[in-house]
Amino acid sequence: MLIRPRRNRVSAGVRGLIRETHLTPQHLVLPLFVQEGDGETPIPSMPGCVRLGINRLVEVARTAYDLGVAAVALFPRLDEALKTPRGEESLNANGLLQRAVKALKAALPGLVVITDVALDPYSSDGHDGLVLRGGIANDETLPLLAEMAVAQARAGADVVAPSDMMDGRVAAIRTALDAAGFINVGICSYCVKYASAFYGPFRDALDSAPRPGEDRPKDKKTYQMDPANVREAMREVALDEAEGADWLMVKPGLPYLDVVRAVREQSALPVAVYHVSGEYAMLKAAAANGWLDYNACLLESLTAFRRAGADLIFTYGAIDAARLLAR
Tell which one of 65, 202, 247, 256 touches ligand PBG (CB under 6 A). 202
Q: Give 212's DSSP letter.
A: P
Complex with ligand PBG: residue 89 or 120, whichever CB lies closer: 120
Complex with ligand PBG: residue 207 or 232, whichever CB lies closer: 207
Q: Does 120 bind ligand PBG (CB under 6 A)?
A: yes
Tell which one of 86, 203, 211, 323 touches ligand PBG (CB under 6 A). 203
The Cα 130–Cα 123 span in angstroms is: 8
Please, what is the minimum distance in Å from the beta carbon of residue 42 to ligand PBG? 16
The Cα 315–Cα 327 span in angstroms is: 19
Please, what is the angle between helix 54-66 and helix 318-326, to 10°? 30
Q: Does 118 bind ligand PBG (CB under 6 A)?
A: yes
The Cα 207–Cα 273 span in angstroms is: 23
CA distances from 52 to 19, 20, 57, 84, 202 (A): 38, 37, 5, 23, 14
Query: CA angle, 225 as apex, 217 and 251 as ends, to 5°?
Result: 115
**Residue 220 annotated among the catalytic residues of the structure:** no
Please, what is the minimum distance in Å from the beta carbon of residue 201 to ligand PBG? 7
Complex with ligand PBG: residue 140 or 204, whichever CB lies closer: 204
Pairing mode of beta strands 40-42, 50-52: antiparallel
Q: Does 199 bind ligand PBG (CB under 6 A)?
A: yes
Please, what is the minimum distance in Å from the beta carbon of residue 182 to ligand PBG? 21
Task: From 176-184, 197-205, 258-266, 297-305, give the range in contact with ligand PBG by CB under 6 A.
Answer: 197-205
Q: Does 277 bind ligand PBG (CB under 6 A)?
A: yes
The Cα 127–Cα 157 span in angstroms is: 23
Site for ligand PBG in 127-156 (CB under 6 A): 128
**Residue 251 annotated among the catalytic residues of the structure:** yes
Q: Give 73's DSSP letter.
A: E
Q: Does 163 bind ligand PBG (CB under 6 A)?
A: yes
Q: Does 125 bind ligand PBG (CB under 6 A)?
A: no
Q: Which of 83, 102, 220, 251 is catalytic?
A: 251
Q: What share of the chain is helix, strand, coil (3-state, %, to 5)?
A: 45, 20, 35
Task: From 54-62, 145-153, 198-206, 301-309, give the range in contact with ligand PBG by CB under 6 A.
Answer: 198-206
Closest CA to 315 of 263, 274, 257: 274
Q: Which stretches of the chain bind ligand PBG, using CB under 6 A? A: 116, 118, 120, 128, 163, 199, 202-203, 220, 276-277
Catalytic residues: 193, 251
